[in-house]
Structure 1
Amino acid sequence: MADQPPGAPASPPPGPPATSAISADAKSAAVPADFADVAALPTEVGTPPASFAAPSADLAVPSADVAASANYQALFEARWPQLTNRHVRALAWLLDAPDLLDPAAPHWQGRIATLGAIPPPTRDWLAALDRDPSPLEAALGAKHISRLGLYAEKLMAFHFAEHGQLVAHGLQVRADRTDTIGEFDFLLRDGRDLVHIEFATKFYLLDSADNLDGLIGPNLADTLGLKMRKIFDKQLSLSQHPAAQAVLPQPVTRAQALVKGWLFYPDGVQPMPGISRQHCHGFWMTQAQAQDLPPQQYAIMPRLHWLAPLKTQDSMDRATLLAQVVGLEAPVMVAALRQAGAWLVEERRGFIVPDGWRAQAAQRRHEGVLPA
């Protein structure tokens, strides 16, 4: 479904279930047609284990009207209407969202991991956690988190730990006290195997090229192509470094990248090799183009709210939104909202960028900061 500007026609929680975070049962779960493009890959060194499976909905079945919308935000709200805590919603999105990258695509040579379907016990666990989020809030810590990537990692670390899979999170490998070689995002237990997972949650805007380097971060600092080359060329091979042997409890059997995120398009979704057909997506437009946004309720989304579809009771009208982006110097993410009972829920999302953003991207390419 092409992305267009919003409004276009268009008690304490129980202990976690004793189920694997990468459950072998996931393979047998029903996969809705909207999320059925990712096939499980064979189990062998360098490929996802059999217990990794295609992303799937939990047992909640969206209504025919919701399913017909082919809109991830509507599907998420239909599956998780009871979740209101933003941290729990963010964790549910990380577990529920379709993969950004297609694990079955030859492009990735079997090095992309995927989570399995959310089993009913985990669904119940998330619901209980929403009623009493104190364990999750304690795991996040009192210190303010400013980096979205670290926030997402902490959420996933909590999930893996609660489900008995976490061996280590953020384990550094050093040559000496001053020379850090790298860091394992996650070491997970999968049966007798030790699995190294490099985890990334990314947000990219399609600029001009129809390849992974044409997907640029909103702040013009990197591309999806650059990120994946770094993961493949350096991070996934970390366990092979001699210095890693001093910190690993046993040899790593598999190393894969687990990548979640959203992609944003100026003129509708464009299929691209290696990208999941069902990935989460939105629009992007310039400040000048934002003048054509339809009358609707909106919200400007703080960075740490970018993961899950927004659910809020605060909003602004179109005129207020346009006033807030006058003289815009950096991209902002906005959500177009619809009423859902006492709440406003995200209908669509997108970036509004400065009018010169695309020219700035071209200049960054010319300077060699971004790939040409």
Structure 2
Amino acid sequence: MRELKPDLVQPGTPGGATPAGAEARLPLWRSAASQRTRDLAWCTLSPPLLAALPDEYRSEVARLAQWPAGERAAWQAWLAHADPDTLPETIAELSGHPDPTGSRSLRLGRHAERLLHFALGHAPGMALMAANVPIRRANGHGIQTLGELDLIWRDPALGQVVHWEMAAKFYLMVDAIDGGTDRRAFVGPNLVDRLGDKLDHIVRRQLPLGRTAEAEALVGCPVNRSEIYLLGWLFYRDGVLPPGLASLGIAPDHLHGWWSTLEAWHARATAPENRGSRWCRLPRVDWLSGARVDEAGTEQAGTLCQALARRFADPDQVWRREAPVMICELTPAEGEPGVWLERSRGFIVPPDWEGRARLRAGRP
């Protein structure tokens, strides 16, 4: 079992321990008291999923996004001292008073984009030029919308105009069934998308839009660089990181958790060394940053196991039976009675999920 550095997010399994004194070194997106601050920090300061693009994209005009080092440090200092009341609302807050025009999308990916827009507009030294720019082209049938540029900003050091396409994704690694052979693949918990498909769409369809004449006309100047701003979490069977991730381009410090069957998780969660932990179910709106939960919102492993068993056996709701559930292991916050902080996170999958995931991962 691989053990993570204490200043990163997760031990690999529910049994991994947070070293003594580690809370003082926790990143802002895990330690801040306000979820507004944590979510904004996660979207701007957490490690990327990829250290390099796979070899198949070497011929493409694409690269991975990076904040300029000086501006990133200045932004971190700004955010650490910002009044949370002045920061963008969380999805949970937004859902309480949705905009009747529909402009406030409550999808997790759109929310992450919205937070990055805010950051580039407020980070010292950064210059946000445009966001969510639709690219349209006239053809014989009228006006066709080709896509949308997520973010356009000016690099303060180089004076270049940069196009960022952002995605916040959550994938579970499985062995794909592919022509009788097994290969590793990352699939979404609902089996709709895959990491390879998402990269292909960004690199070959979205990034080229920044180099079109239509984009130059809208921005008012050529775009010098188009980059992928990809964040998220990857989840591995029972928290075991397989060898060879670097060859897939996965960053060595990427955020990761575990996925398990209900029985395998319960066996680990109730082992003697883990009985001091408590647990909570993480709704999708809380998937981004580290969880911070009042004790009243926590559960014992046995109680949670019974609730999930009922869910996966629900005769009336197919989606409840088939959908994995993200849960979070919690430990007491040092010096804050009644507050519990995330120790690890992972998905509990229904009994037939792995077979369906392997088939989905192997499809063209």
TM range (shorter): 0.7 to 0.9
Q: 1:269 aligns with which of 220, 230, 241?
A: 241
Name which of structure 1's ranges 172-181 and 297-306 shifts more when overlaid on structure 2: 172-181
Between the aligned partners of 2:228 and 2:41, the Cα distance in structure 1 is 19
Amino acid at match of 1:230: H
Q: Which residue in the other structure is 2:101 paired with?
A: none
Between the aligned partners of 1:5 and 1:233, the Cα distance in structure 2 is 36
Between the aligned partners of 2:256 and 2:30, the Cα distance in structure 1 is 21
Q: Which residue in the other structure is 1:123 paired with?
A: 76
Amino acid at match of 1:96: L
Q: Which residue in the other structure is 1:190 paired with?
A: 155
Tell me, yes or no, if structure 1 residue 5 matches structure 2 residue 16. Answer: no
Q: Which residue in the other structure is 1:239 paired with?
A: 210
Q: Deviations over 1:251-294 (max 9, x none)?
A: 00001101111100004112422110111110000223233122
* SS of equivalent residue, structure 2 residue 88: helix
Contact 1:213–1:225 at 8 Å: present in 2 too?
no
Q: Deviations over 1:189-235 (max 9, x none)?
A: 11331101111111100011599960111110111111111111111
Q: Which residue in the other structure is 2:114 paired with?
A: 154
Between the aligned partners of 1:105 and 1:76, the Cα distance in structure 2 is 32
CA drift at 1:114: 2.2
Name which of structure 1's ranges 76-85 and 94-103 shifts more when overlaid on structure 2: 76-85
Name which of structure 1's ranges 141-150 and 272-281 shifts more when overlaid on structure 2: 141-150
Contact 1:220–1:361 at 8 Å: present in 2 too?
yes
Contact 1:213–1:224 at 8 Å: present in 2 too?
no
Between the aligned partners of 2:20 and 2:227, the Cα distance in structure 1 is 37
* SS of equivalent residue, structure 1 residue 92: helix
Contact 1:99–1:114 at 8 Å: present in 2 too?
no
Q: Deviations over 1:58-94 (max 9, x none)?
A: xxxxx98567xxxxxx686365676111121011122
* SS of equivalent residue, structure 1 residue 346: strand
Between the aligned partners of 1:238 and 1:229, the Cα distance in structure 2 is 14
Q: Which residue in the other structure is 1:320 paired with?
A: 303
Q: Which residue in the other structure is 2:132 paired with?
A: 170
Contact 2:185–2:361 at 8 Å: present in 1 too?
no
Q: Which residue in the other structure is 1:39 paired with?
A: none
Q: Which residue in the other structure is 1:282 paired with?
A: 257
Between the aligned partners of 1:111 and 1:286, the Cα distance in structure 2 is 37
Tell me, yes or no, if structure 1 residue 113 matches structure 2 residue 65. Answer: yes
Q: Deviations over 1:91-140 (max 9, x none)?
A: 112222111100487676461112355755433422333x3423423999
Between the aligned partners of 2:264 and 2:187, the Cα distance in structure 1 is 20
Between the aligned partners of 2:189 and 2:109, the Cα distance in structure 1 is 15
> Against the structure 1 CA distance between its residues 318 and 242, is the aligned structure 2 distance closer, same or farther, given a 3 Å change threshold?
same
Between the aligned partners of 1:234 and 1:157, the Cα distance in structure 2 is 22
Unmatched tracts of structure 2, length 5 or more: 4-10, 99-103, 313-320
Amino acid at match of 1:336: E
Tell me, yes or no, if structure 1 residue 348 matches structure 2 residue 348. Answer: no
Q: Deviations over 1:158-183 (max 9, x none)?
A: 00011342111111111257521011
> Against the structure 1 CA distance between its residues 337 and 108, is the aligned structure 2 distance closer, same or farther, given a 3 Å change threshold?
farther
Number of residue pairs the alignment of both structures matches: 308
Q: Which residue in the other structure is 1:335 paired with?
A: 328
Q: 2:173 aligns with which of 183, 206, 212?
A: 206
Paired-residue identity, %: 31
* SS of equivalent residue, structure 1 residue 219: coil
CA drift at 1:239: 2.1
CA drift at 1:152: 0.6
Tell me, yes or no, if structure 1 residue 307 matches structure 2 residue 288. Answer: yes
CA drift at 1:4: 4.7
Q: Which residue in the other structure is 1:99 paired with?
A: 48
Between the aligned partners of 1:124 and 1:185, the Cα distance in structure 2 is 25
Within 5 Å, give how 1:33-44 maps onto structure 2: none
Between the aligned partners of 1:212 and 1:122, the Cα distance in structure 2 is 40
Q: Which residue in the other structure is 2:8 paired with?
A: none
Between the aligned partners of 1:123 and 1:277, the Cα distance in structure 2 is 22
Between the aligned partners of 2:168 and 2:280, the Cα distance in structure 1 is 22
Amino acid at match of 2:65: A
Contact 1:311–1:345 at 8 Å: present in 2 too?
yes
Within 5 Å, give how 1:24-103 maps onto structure 2: 65=20, 77=26, 83-103=32-52
Tell me, yes or no, if structure 1 residue 134 matches structure 2 residue 106. Answer: no
Unmatched tracts of structure 1, length 5 or more: 11-62, 68-73
